[in-house]
Every structure is written in C-alpha cells, then in structure tokens.
Structure 1
Amino acid sequence: MKLLLVVACALIDADGRILIAQRPEGKPMAGLWEFPGGKLEPPESPEQALIRELAEELGITVREPCLAPLTFASHAYAQFHLLMPLYVCRRWEGIVAAREGQAIKWVKPNKLRDYPMPPADEPLIPHLIDLT
C-alpha cells in the first residue's frame, strides 16, 4: 500500500481557537473540515512544506521556530496509508484569509467534534483539547 506523507497545522489564535478549513467541492472528501496543510514536495522537510502550504492556502507567513510538533495521525484509507504530523503554531505574520476557495472557521477545541472531519483528523482532537 502506498504511503502518503502530508503535514497539517493547528493555528491557535489569542483566544485559544483553532483554525479549520472545509474541503471545497470537487476535492475528495469535499465538505469535511480539516486542519490546514498539504503534501510535501521533494526535497521539502515537513516544516518547509507547511510554511509553503500556509502561505498558499491562507496568505500568512510562518517561521520554522514557531512550528511545534504535537502529534501525528496514521490512518489506512482504501487506496493509501496516510501519515500526517500535526504541528501547533501560535505566531504568524499577516491576516488569515481563505485563498483557495475553501471556507475557514475559528473553533474552540472542545467544539471541534461538531464539524465532520476526515477519519485521519478525528484522533487529533483530544490532543488539541488537552493542549489548550
């Protein structure tokens, strides 16, 4: 089975809310909510990929020292096995904005379960509730 490495970030604002983004129509699992991030492009490190993805998706600048690894997801989908490190970021430059047609929302950690997420993302929620 193919191993797919993607990286995700829990952006946490000054009020302790976490940013989630809704997968747009036309993408697999459209309508589900997830943490921003994406696939690595060779020869990127996970941190470099996340910095690039956050700039592309949300228009913000993140510095590598502001990314703190928290946990990871390991999930077997039908076509591939997903390995997804989750980083926490509390400091960035710029204003968060949806730049790829996705809906975005700031959510208190204890309300994350109110938003349907891909199976790989759901196990990350308790770690974020414990963190805040």
Structure 2
Amino acid sequence: MSEQIQVVGAAILDSLEHPARLLVARRTAPEQFAGLWEFPGGKVEAGEVCEAALHRELKEELGVGVRLGAELPAGTPEGWRLNERASMRVWQAEVTEGEPHPLEDHDELRWVALADQQAVLELPWIPADFPIVQALLDVLSSPVLHSRTR
C-alpha cells in the first residue's frame, strides 16, 4: 500500500475580513485536468509543515506571499479526499505581497465575485475541488460560521 499524499491549497480571497472575490487558477496539466479550475497549491514535501508548504507553493505558482486565515473544515485531519492516494487541506488566504500571475501549472487566473455563487459553481472545476468550493461558499455566506473563521 502506498503512502498517502498530503496536498495543500489556498482559497485566496481579496480580503479575509470582508471577502468579495475569490482567485481561481486554470490548470495546464496533467492532461485530464487541463482547462479546469482549482485552488492553487501543491504537494507537501517530506518533513515540511502544511502551512509552510502552502506558502512555498503559492510563491512558486503565483509569485505571491499571503496571510493565511482559517482552514476550511474537512471532517478529517488529512483534509478533503482528492482520490484514493491524496487528500488536501485548504486555507483561506489573502495576498500580502506581489501580484498573482500564472507562473507554473496554470495558464489563467481569474477573480470571481462571491456574490454570484451560481457563477462560481458553474466554472469547470476539477471534480475533487467542487465540494470544497461548495463548502467555502457555505462558510463565507454564513455570518455565524464566517465570524468563527477570523
């Protein structure tokens, strides 16, 4: 049995305190995910703490530094199940340094308005990310839940 792969991702918001937009990234590879949207992030390397891995990945993929907010509750310590071999932990984040650009693994970045939840959900998401998007929108639209994330 192979070891589980830990992945980290960021729900990058225009503001952690008063989020109005979400930054989404369109994949270029692998082939089955090319053209689909996702949360930017990547694999945690051996001996690396998840939060440190997320900071590293966002610098490599987008050229930005971020402030991390609350982790999106997934129900398990490993996070959201992506497939039989990998799980992803996702944090809310806000850009604090740099301007996001698709430097690695993506060909387009887009800010989407959170007020139009249907438009967010209608993007062609990587299938494993879709339930995470739904959970994020639920957290952000609930005043009680959102106040707990700060």
Q: TM-score, normalised by structure 2?
A: 0.74
Moved over 4 A (4+): 25-28
Say if 1:37 and 1:54, in contact at 8 Å, map to a contact too.
Answer: yes
| Aligned-partner Cα distance in 2 for 1:103–1:59 | 14
Aligned partner of 1:98: which letter?
A: P
Aligned partner of 1:113: which letter?
A: L
The total of aligned residue pairs comes to 127
1:60 alignment partner in structure 2: 64
| Aligned-partner Cα distance in 2 for 1:28–1:92 | 32
- Comparing 9-18 with 52-61, which one deviates more in the overlay? 9-18
2:73 alignment partner in structure 1: 71
In structure 1, list runs of 5 or more residues that go unmatched: none
> Is 2:120 the partner of 1:106?
no
Say if 2:38 and 2:126, in contact at 8 Å, map to a contact too.
Answer: yes
Pairing 1:21-36 to 2, within 5 Å after superposition: 21-36=25-40
1:9-40 CA deviation, whole Å, 9 max, x = no partner?
00001461111111115544111110000001
Q: TM-score, normalised by structure 1?
A: 0.84
In structure 2, list runs of 5 or more residues that go unmatched: 75-79, 142-150
What is the percentage of aligned positions where both structures have the same residue?
39
SS of the equivalent of 1:56 reads helix
- Comparing 88-97 with 4-13, which one deviates more in the overlay? 88-97
More helix by share: 2
Aligned partner of 1:104: which letter?
A: L
SS of the equivalent of 1:120 reads helix
